[in-house]
């Protein structure tokens, strides 16, 4: 079990500094209700963020979706994505940030490392597996990139001559096929 206390503290400090105001944190009961509705457990670090930082409203660019509540939430987004069109959204992959244009950052809650995935439906292929990219090997690494200003979404990183192309998510085909 990892100790994420320092990282969560740093995220909270940055979130407070950047946001005019943050939503209240969620409770253990809220987490349990969300997990019951989703049908899977949240990774420890994701639960800590919602319990100790805020119910969304912090993070890169467009900020994390609230876990629960009114309006668009991670839980409310997951249902329709998994619904009738589950050909493109694997079970246990929770959307946490809407980048716009149909793109999402999502956490694979079924993988103990909690990798962050990028769903890019505009990738241009007829195979939905081609729309999934590994954004970061873990949510902790993704948050660290945000804190350090080294994430792909940062303009200087995106425009650099040596900018990395996103890597395809190696488990996409297997995970999508498992849901059919």
Q: Where are the domains of the chain?
A: 5-178
**What averages of pLDDT result for each successive group of 10 residues across the chain (180 residues)?**
88 94 97 97 98 97 95 93 77 96 96 96 85 96 94 78 82 86
Quick one: pLDDT at residue 151?
Answer: 85
Quick one: pLDDT at residue 159?
Answer: 81
**Selection from 44, 59, 98, 100 nearest residue 76 by Cα:** 98
- Helix spans in the chain (H): 5-18, 28-38, 44-52, 74-82, 139-148, 155-159, 172-178
* φ, ψ at 105 (rounded to 5°): -95, 135
User: CB-based contacts of 178: which residues, under 8 Å, 6+ apart?
Assistant: 90, 91
Quick one: pLDDT at residue 143?
Answer: 97
Quick one: pLDDT at residue 53?
Answer: 98
- Please tell me the distance from the alpha carbon of residue 101 to that of residue 123, in angstroms, as a whole number: 11
- For domain 5-178, is the CATH number 3.40.1580.10? yes
Quick one: pLDDT at residue 84?
Answer: 60
Quick one: pLDDT at residue 17?
Answer: 95
Quick one: pLDDT at residue 67?
Answer: 98
């Amino acid at each position: 079990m990892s100790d994420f206390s320092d990282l969560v503290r740093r995220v909270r400090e940055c979130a407070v500094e950047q946001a005019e105001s943050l939503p209240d944190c969620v409770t253990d009961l809220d987490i349990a209700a969300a997990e019951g509705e989703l049908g899977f457990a949240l990774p420890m670090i994701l639960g800590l963020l919602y319990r100790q930082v805020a119910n969304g409203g912090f993070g890169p660019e467009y900020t994390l979706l609230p876990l629960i509540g009114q309006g668009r939430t991670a839980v409310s987004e997951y249902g329709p994505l998994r619904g009738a069109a589950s050909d493109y959204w694997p079970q246990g992959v929770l959307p946490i940030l809407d980048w716009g244009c149909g793109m999402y950052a999502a956490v694979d809650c079924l993988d103990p490392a909690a990798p962050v995935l990028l769903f890019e439906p505009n990738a241009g292929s007829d195979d939905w597996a081609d729309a999934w990219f590994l954004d970061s090997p873990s949510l902790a690494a993704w948050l660290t990139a945000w804190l350090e200003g080294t994430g792909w979404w940062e303009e200087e990183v995106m425009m650099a001559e040596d900018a990395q192309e996103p890597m395809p998510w190696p488990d996409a085909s297997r995970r999508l096929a498992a849901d059919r």
